Amino acid sequence: MAEMIIEPIEKYGLSKKDRPKILFSKIGIVGCGSVGQGLAITASKHGIEVIFLELNAELIQHSLDEIKKQLDEEINHWGLTPSEKTAILSRIKGTVKYEDFSDCELVIEAIKSTTRESSLDVRKQVFKNIEKQVTRECIIATNSSTLVVTEMSSELEYNDRCVSLHISSTAPGATVVEVARGLHTSKESYDKVMKFVKLIDKIAIPVIESPGLISVRLFVVLLNEACEVLMEGVSSMECIDNTMRACFNMPLGPFEFADKVGLDKILRWMENLFGEFGISRYVASPMIKKLVRANRLGRATGIGFYTYDQNGKKVIESACCEE
């Protein structure tokens, strides 16, 4: 049999017109904690190459290991096949250099931060670092829900390319993404991001830039009220969660959800929201503050509102109801 010849395909087009490039064949992610990992997996599942930036080789390896763990978990629960896992992993790479973002069409900032002020400054710097390396067309996005993108992008040369792209980290299977447009965001950039969201098979929820968007803003108030109900002794934590699950068809009650998200993260959300709106309903319940101070952050630390065993399963007696 004749040997296979290999040639570039371009010269076989019917017409010589310029062909549109494949949109979002590669994206970048800054910070590969739980949010970044989720993003990387989602994008790669849809055939997109992902490069993520972490501070050092050790953290890169850690992120890759976590990603593998999550995929294995999916295989164990029948959601994925081993060959799909191999394909997904082959598209995800780590780096320590911003230079590696040069051919990305979208770079998303997903760093973990501690306080509002430092977080904003760090993120502003991240945006600047990204802009130095990418093309003019590249979209720069943040996954932050409580910091506004207009502020984060204020020091960029071209801030019309910045949007906020909030993919819920609380439910990896969630089908919606909140896409917020900043003051400077151009229609072109916004439309492009909407296409990206469609590409990863999610529904884009258009939002006008506002701290907390929809999901975070509504959830923190619910959690605060749940803490109030608990502190007033109206009912137990389990009963509150049970009621909310059953009556509103929620997969998790407010306390269970808070533990899953991480109480430190929730506290930061609330501080940001209060900083922005100055309204008392966003002031975190003392109960949340107490737990965070004791480093009882939820599932991640094995204890939060509830206590968790090594497999992350809730143990019946809870941290809060002991007294």
Residues that bind another protein (CB under 8 A): 1-10, 12-15, 19-22, 25, 47, 49, 77-81, 91, 173
* CB nearer another protein, residue 51 or residue 287: 51
Quick one: 51 or 216, whose CB is closer to another protein? Answer: 51
Q: How far is the CB of 41 from another protein (least distance, A)?
A: 15
12 or 248: CB nearest another protein: 12
Which of 136/313 has CB closer to another protein? Answer: 313
Query: Across the beta sheet with 26-30, what order do the strands follow?
Result: 92-95, 49-53, 26-30, 106-109, 139-142, 162-167, 176-181, 203-208
Q: How far is the CB of 226 from another protein (least distance, A)?
A: 24
Minimum CB separation from another protein for residue 136, in Å? Answer: 21
Crossing angle, helix 215-231 and helix 254-261, to 10 degrees? Answer: 120
For residues 222, 223, 226, 231, the Cα torsion angle rounded to the nearest 10 degrees is -140
Nearer to another protein, 5 or 208 (CB): 5
CB 195 within 8 A of CB 166: no
Under 8 Å between Cβ of 178 and 211: no
CA dihedral 46, 48, 53, 54 (to 10 degrees): 30
Residue with tokens 């929809």: 214
Q: How far apart are CA 92 and CA 71, in angstroms?
A: 13
Residue 85 CB, nearest approach to another protein (Å): 12
- Per-residue buried b or exposed e for 196-212, using 16+ beta carbons within 10 Å of the residue's own CB: bbeebebebeebebbbb
Q: Rounded to the nearest whole angstrom, what is the least distance from the CB of residue 93 to another protein in the complex?
A: 13
Task: Answer yes or no: are the C-beta atoms of 75 and 81 closer than 8 Å.
Answer: yes
Of 76 and 310, which CB lies nearer to another protein in the complex structure?
A: 76
Q: How far is the CB of 134 from another protein (least distance, A)?
A: 19
Give 70 or 145: the residue with its C-beta nearer to another protein. 70
Compute the least distance from the CB of residue 19 to another protein, in Å: 7
Kindly report the CA angle at 203 between 246 and 181, in degrees rounded to 5? Answer: 115
